[in-house]
Structure formats: structure tokens, C-alpha cells
Amino acid sequence: MTVSPARRAAYDALLQVETQEAFANLALAAAVAEHGLDAQQAATATELVNGTARLMGTYDRIIARAARRELSTLEPAVVTVLRLSTHEQLSMRTPVHAAVDEAVNLGRIAVGHRVTGVINAIARKVGINDLSGWVQALSADEDELSALGTRTHHPRWIADVYDYLLGDDAEAGLLANNTPAVPTLVVRPGLVERDELSEPGLEPTPYSPFGFRRPGNPGGLKEVRQGRAGVQDEGSQLMAWLLALAPTTEEIADLGWLDLCAGPGGKAALLAGLARQRGGWLLASEKAPHRAELVRKAMARYPDRWQVITADGLAPAWQPRSFARVMADVPCTGIGSLRRRSESRWRRTEEQLEELVALQAGLLAQAWAATAEGGVLAYVTCSPHPLETVEQVQAFLDTHPEAELLDAPALLPDVPEAAHPDEPLMVQLWPHRHGTDAMFGALLRRGPST
């Protein structure tokens, strides 16, 4: 009995996601390298891993119902095999008998002969229905929000957020998270301009003047290999562009820019280029040493006018009011980037919000302390959750009368429907409307202290 290298690599990656809380993209990259997959095999493994991880919560409910037992009663390795088989049967349209045979072979080789019987029985029962039929059965007795989550393959609490903000458009917004994003790249200002790129297949981003989309491996583009371009979602590019466009006073023009939570470095590299074009410089701060190293690599092609430090944003390593422009792209639930982070919708929970919101408030306070009078702070998240976005900023404004909320959407006139539904001076982007992550951004300018 043999198992295809792509399927074995996918199994190894997903088992790490399940048992070690690994990130799917990193586990997949390691498995592809370990098994020496060619381009076609790697593409198959990518679909198996990302597709399975993206619908994992739905698949787990289907498997549990087919097995008539809780998944906790099965070994993690067996659950991983069954998830892969469920994805192949219900989303890849692999014939049931073929998917079951492959699951049994994989279980025998990866786990042992003793589990083949249970894998065979459960996988066959999964195949008695198609995905839409299973979804209909799972949602039959659910309330409206739970059914919305089931139909779109999201936990109820995420469906609730989208329903609150988007109303009748919520289902379209949630479904957009299930379509993998085409890799979006960004030029490094001052190193290469977008109109200099001539490779076939490049599609300029509609809103960011620095971005372009390119299917396939980003490393296939020589500008990426050279460090003159990098990978960055268009929404993230627009948040950096917002900070650069925001008006500041002339008196602080010679002050530097600060990226408070700079890892992994895409936004910092774009800010470094924008600062250099204006005669400025950038300090990029990152708490985690390995992420700080990624920031250094992202900016390495710039010869000067930047520095990376390993420092905690809650314990500043700089003097107060030292920067003309400050980027606070704070840690968040990440529910705005679900297209690219396939497993995160099932890993994040609503219970984690309280701790994250407290961290965000602390980082926002320190970012503000670093902002000079007349300077601007950009508060950014890759989450649309009100507690992490509008309510966080409004709570800050209530206690800081010297802070002026700028009209951020007005700085992006070519981006339609960019205003947040609850606060028209803040920006909220959406995958189904803008083709970006659901990025949030607010601009705060420091006025004279009272």
C-alpha cells in the first residue's frame, strides 16, 4: 500500500496544526520541503491543507454525526485522516470509493492497521451526502445566526460580527473568506516602481499605487528574490499609505516615523520607503526576536535611514513625543484575514477578546505617548470586531481631549465604501467589496495639550 507524497505531506502538516497548534502555512511549507514535492504535488498538498483547515469546524461536525460519537474519543491522527477524506469527498469531488480507499491506506501507513476499520466505516458514512446536504442537516434546528455560520463555515461569534456590521451583505462577506486570496505583492518605494514591472500575468491593485497581484509562488518574481518587492495584502498597503498621507505640522517634519509592532515586516518596509522619499527615517520595533529578524530582512535593501530594535511596545525604548508618524498595527483576533489564514477561524475564540482588547489599549496608549504634537497615529487591526476597532478608538478619544480624529476615508477617495458603518471617519475594508483583508484603520492627530 502506498500514499501519494502530496497526501502524506498534507497529513503531516494538518497533524501539526491539530496537535502542536502550528500555523497551517508554515507547517505546509515544512512538509512540502521534507517530502520533496514538485510544483504539481505542492499545489495538491496546498489545496488539501488549506481547504481542510478552512472548513475544519464544519467537517468535524459532519464526522461526529457520521461516527455518532464525539471527536475527542478518536485519536488526533485518526481525526486528521478523516478530515482529509471529508474534504476530498465533499469539496474536491473525489469519488467516495477512491477517497475512502486513500484514507484507509493513509491510516494504515501513518497510524497503524488497527485504525483502518474505524476510518473505513466513518469515511463511508461521510460520503452518503454531499456538502450542501450535510450543511442543511446541521443547520436544520439552529437559530438564524448559527445557521448563517454553518452555511458559510464560520463559528457563530464571527457570523454575529459580520451580521452586525454588514446586515444583508453579511453572507457575501463571510463567503468571501472561503475564497483563497491571490498573492498580492508590493514594490519597495525607491527601489523599484510598479510601472517598471513587465512580467506577464501581473495585475495592478485597483486602490494601492504600490501593489500588484500575481498568481503562483511570489518567489518566482526576480524583484521579490532581490528584496525590491515583497508580499503584502492590498489592505495592509492602504493602511501604511493612510499614515503617509495624513497631514502633520511642518514643525515636526524632521522627526522620524515609528512602527510599534513591526513584525513580520511588510508594512515596515513600505513605511521605510515612504519615509525615505520624504527625507525621513523609520524605527521599527518588534517584541519577538525571530519576527524582528524578519523585519530586518524585509528592509535590508534600503541602505540607511531605518533601524530595527527588539523591544516591547508596552515598555518603550524611546523618548515620549519623538515621532511625527506612528503606526500601531496591533495584535488582534485576525478575523479580517481569514482568506489567508485558513485555520484561524477555528483557533480564535470570543473568550480571547478580553485579553486582546486590554493589550490593544495598552499599545494604543504607548503609541500615542510616542506621537509628537502635530503628529499622527494610525491605529490598525486586521479584524472588524467592534471591540477591537471603533469601540477601542472611541474609548481612547473619551479620555484624550487632545486627540483629533481625522477623516481617514477622505484620504482614500478612490476606494468605494471605505467608511466604517458605525463611524464614517474611520476606514473598514472588506474582502467581498475591495478584494482585500477586512482591515480597519483610524487616524488620530495630537493637538496641543490641555
- The one-letter code for the residue type at 167 is G
The pTM of the full predicted model, rounded to 2 decimals, is 0.95
| One-character DSSP codes across 97-140 | HHHHHHHHHHHHHHT-GGGHHHHHHHHHHHTTS-HHHHHHHHHT
Strands 256-259 and 323-329: parallel
The sign one gets for the Cα dihedral 407, 237, 414, 181 is negative
Per-residue pLDDT of the chain (450 residues; tens, 9 = 90+): 689 999 999 999 999 999 999 999 999 999 999 999 999 999 999 999 999 999 999 999 999 999 999 999 999 999 999 999 999 999 998 999 999 999 999 999 999 999 999 999 999 999 999 999 999 999 999 999 999 999 999 999 999 999 999 999 999 999 999 999 999 999 999 999 999 988 888 999 999 999 999 998 898 899 999 999 999 999 999 999 999 999 999 899 899 999 999 999 999 999 999 999 999 999 999 999 999 999 999 999 999 999 999 999 999 999 999 999 999 999 999 999 999 998 999 999 999 999 999 999 999 999 999 999 999 999 999 999 999 999 999 999 999 999 999 999 999 999 999 999 999 999 999 999 999 999 999 999 999 875
Pull the grid cell for residue 205: 491593485
For the domain spanning 234-446, the CATH number is 3.40.50.150
φ, ψ dihedrals at 132, nearest 5°: -65, -35
DSSP output for 200-236: TT-EE-SS-TTEEE--S-GGGSHHHHTTSEEE--HHH
274 touches 244 (CB < 8 A): yes
Q: Which residue shows C-alpha cell 499545489?
A: 43
Break the chain into its structural domains and give their ranges. 5-132, 142-176, 184-230, 234-446
CA distance 435 to 438: 9
The DSSP 8-state label assigned to residue 232 in this structure reads: -
Q: Which residues pair with 203 in a beta bridge?
A: 213
DSSP code, position 419: B
The DSSP code sequence of 162-200 is HHHHHGGGHHHHHHHTTSPPPPEEEE-TTT--GGG---T
d(CA 237, CA 109): 45
DSSP class of 146: H
Question: How far apart are alpha carbons 274 and 266 in whole angstroms?
Answer: 13
Q: What angle do CA 188, 344, 170 make, to 5 degrees?
A: 90
Is 100 within 8 Å of 85 (Cβ atoms)?
A: yes
Number of H helices, E strands in the chain: 19, 12
Q: Which residues belong to the active site? A: 382
C-alpha span between 429 and 187 (Å, rounded): 21
Per-position DSSP letters for 281-297, written without gaps between them: -EEEEESSHHHHHHHHH
Beta bridge partner(s), residue 185: 212, 231
The residue with cell 442537516 is 137
CB 312 within 8 A of CB 288: no
Q: Is 190 left (phi over 0), alpha (psi -120 to 50) or beta?
A: left
- In this structure, are residues 207 and 434 in contact, taking their beta carbons and an 8 Å threshold? yes
The CATH class given to the 5-132 domain equals mainly alpha
